[in-house]
Amino acid sequence: MKASVDDFARVVHVQSALRRIATCVARGAAPAEVLDAVATELGLLIGTDGAHIVRYDAEGSATVVAAWGTPDIGLPVGTTFSLDGDSVTAMVRKTARPARMDGYADALGPLAAHLRQHHVRGAVGAPIFVEGRLWGLVTATMTRDEPLARDSEMWLADCTELIATAIANAQARADLAASRARVVVAADQARRRIERDLHDGIQQQLIALAIELGDAQASIPSEQSELRQRLSTVKRGLTGVLDDLREMSRGIHPTILSDSGLRPALKGLARRSRVPVELHACVHHRFSEPVEVAGYYIVAEALANAAKHAHASHVRIEATVRNARLHLTVRDDGVGGADPSRGSGLIGLADRVDALGGSITIDSPPGRGTTLHAELPFELH
């Protein structure tokens, strides 16, 4: 009777732990956050004081990817250790089955020595298979002077499938984000190439033609005023084409962005905007190219929308850096009611921002203007 009550309690516990983890996975939390949640739930579930998720590396070593527990046993996320010697990690690697060590007193090897030093008295582990391959293991450790419960391995094993799903999902999401980032980068490279071809090729040729035309015009005798007039018209046309071309290549890839950075580029956008702009750009350093390009396109698109759709009379742009993230806010006082599903600009921005691991929100109540806010994580360049 006792056993079945315990079993039932265990099932309930496992179910609610799994539900919390599944919610975390479904929320699209970052892989590290999911694995941390798993380690925490498992530790609490088993009644132990440490839980780790460990990934096997290609060579005889393993790396901690999630860690939970007090006291700290000195194996934080990112620690890599060798599989030499006696450890649950090595045993699981060898047998691909759950394993247990009830004491480290006589255990050999560097990991065992480390655990002894941190007063670990026992450990259990269960393998994690991802897509049919032994990926790593989940371990529970105990520093208190009490044995790890007999069925600890079972508790661990109950959860490894969900951990595997979480890892596979996280991996798939990471792969997807990486592939979207690659698409964005490839498109940007193509744009830069086109911009360079336009600038170095067509634009230079047109400039040379304009100069030649100017010379020709100057050499025409004054009595041939009609010819002079016609050449003037041609020259004006040529200058117009050059202006259009410059404007176009700026839209393809703004040279000022790569030359001088985000702040001057935003100033340029503000200056050329059809709607009056109030710009607060407190960003003085250079970011990586994808971040600068994203920042530029976000503001460019928001300004274009403010002019094209919002009928705004004023736009406020704010660019600041907080917590290693570039924050951009563009607010117009127009008609509101922006809807990304009705166009392509805002969706394109979302793709670009997602690929960089950032976020974008659009608040656009009808009649009350539109606020676009984007956050981009960055490393200083």
Ligand X SMILES: Nc1ncnc2c1ncn2[C@@H]1O[C@H](COP(=O)(O)OP(=O)(O)O)[C@@H](O)[C@H]1O
Would you give the binding string for ligand X spanning residues 143-172, x where CB under 6 A is met?
------------------------------
Instruction: Rule CB under 5 A: say whether 152 interacts with Mg ion.
Output: no
Instruction: Rule CB under 6 A: say whether 332 interacts with ligand X.
Output: yes
Stretch that binds Mg ion, among 82-90, 207-215, 271-279, 344-352 (CB under 5 A): 344-352
Q: What is the DSSP string of 133-197?
A: EEEEEEEEEE-SSSPPPTTHHHHHHHHHHHHHHHHHHHHHHHHHHHHHHHHHHHHHHHHHHHHHH
Nearer to ligand X, 40 or 364 (CB): 364
Among 4, 70, 222, 344, binds ligand X (CB under 6 A): 344
What is the spatial distance between Cα 93 and Cα 99, in angstroms, rounded to a whole number? 10
Among 141, 152, 249, 305, binds Mg ion (CB under 5 A): 305
What is the spatial distance between Cα 106 and Cα 112, in angstroms, rounded to a whole number? 9
Instruction: Rule CB under 6 A: say whether 368 interacts with ligand X.
Output: no
Nearer to ligand X, 85 or 343 (CB): 343
At residue 8, the 3 state secondary structure works out as helix
| Binding residues for ligand X restricted to 286-325, rule: CB under 6 A | 301, 305-306, 309-310
Least spacing, CB of residue 262 vs ligand X, in Å? 21
Instruction: Rule CB under 6 A: say whether 236 interacts with ligand X.
Output: no
What is the spatial distance between Cα 245 and Cα 248, in angstroms, rounded to a whole number? 5
Q: Which of 167, 138, 164, 135 is nearest to 46 (CA)?
A: 138
Q: What is the DSSP string of 74-141?
A: S--TT-EEE--SS-HHHHHHHHSS-EEES--TT--SHHHHHHHHTT--EEEEEEEEETTEEEEEEEEE
Nearer to Mg ion, 155 or 297 (CB): 297
Instruction: Rule CB under 5 A: say whether 370 interacts with Mg ion.
Output: no
Stretch that binds ligand X, among 145-153, 168-176, 221-229, 344-352 (CB under 6 A): 344-352
H-helix or E-strand containing 337?
none
Residues that bind Mg ion (CB under 5 A): 305, 345
Residues that bind ligand X (CB under 6 A): 301, 305-306, 309-310, 332, 334-340, 342-347, 370
